[in-house]
Amino acid sequence: MAGLNVSLSFFFATFALCEAARRASKALLPVGAYEVFAREAMRTLVELGPWAGDFGPDLLLTLLFLLFLAHGVTLDGASANPTVSLQEFLMAEESLPGTLLKLAAQGLGMQAACTLTRLCWAWELSDLHLLQSLMAQSCSSALCTSVPHGALVEAACAFCFHLTLLHLRHSPPAYSVPAVALLVTVTAYTAGPFTSAFFNPALAASVTFACSGHTLLEYVQVYWLGPLTGKGRGGVGSLGLLGPTEHPGTWGPAGWR
């Protein structure tokens, strides 16, 4: 129980820290710098919370659902997901410089998240964190299936996710936020045993690319090309939902992972 309390404290403290930093950035930085860079960095930093805490599957899924609910309310539509940023660029909702800045913020945010996580483990506040610290240099791969199957799973997850975002983009947050949170949770439960259901290239690169079991090229095929392919299919599939005359609009609070 003590180890669980420490892990939960780490999770909620990370979220509170990022929320405080986001509010400070919004107050102190120019609007453009905040919208394009700072909020993406803060959103990416907190993204690692559930995976870094070493929780069991049931608690992980619960925290994942609660995390996405909180993000829908607090993080101003930041995505922390390169595929979402690319989708915004392809739909002419963001300029090329803005997209590149978002991608840079997501990369820097994820590196900061990894550094914070290793620091927490180094404190050895619980037996779980001590074990994580010892295993950090010899982690096992999150890919527990063949490379083609893994790429297909990640593509399917990204396809469902992006299609849902586009379908709900004009819905009130009271409906869209819980719907997307539930979708992510169900997807993680269904596809988690195969690939951990990241469908987020930045998150996957930080969590599993350094782990043994597969080559870098295999990881790229599954966790980068898979979601990008699924995103592309989701964009094509959305044409049937949008119709030829409907404007794609903005992502709003549901534009997350």
Q: What is the mean pLDDT of residues 60-87?
A: 80
pLDDT tens-digit map of 161-214: 988 888 888 888 888 889 988 999 999 899 989 998 888 898 888 888 888 889
pLDDT-above-70 percentage for the chain:
72
Q: What is the mean pLDDT of residues 1-23?
A: 73
* Apex 161 CA angle, 157 and 167, nearest 5: 145
Annotated domain spans of the chain: 1-230
Read off the pLDDT band of 41 (50, 70, 90): low
Cα separation, 114 vs 257, whole angstroms: 18
Buried b (16+ CB within 10 A) or exposed e, 57-73: eeebbebbbbbbebbbe
CATH of region 1-230, choose from 3.20.20.120, 1.20.1080.10, 3.40.640.10, 3.40.50.970: 1.20.1080.10
Read off the pLDDT band of 46 (50, 70, 90): low
Better-scored residue on pLDDT, 33 or 71: 71
Helix (H, G, I), strand (E, B) or coil at 15: helix
Strand partners, 212: 140
Whole-model pTM: value is 0.79
pLDDT tens-digit map of 93-149: 888 988 898 888 888 888 887 787 777 777 777 676 666 666 666 778 889 999 999
Highest mean pLDDT among 66-80, 120-134, 167-181, 228-242: 167-181
Give the pLDDT of residue 253. 36
Better-scored residue on pLDDT, 248 or 231: 231
For residue 50, give the nearest of 74, 71, 72, 26 by alpha carbon. 71
Read off the pLDDT band of 21 (50, 70, 90): confident
Q: Does 254 have pLDDT greater than 50?
A: no
Better-scored residue on pLDDT, 20 or 190: 190
Q: Does 74 have pLDDT greater than 70?
A: yes
Buried b (16+ CB within 10 A) or exposed e, 191-223: bbebbbbbbbbbbbbbbbbebeebeeebbbbbb
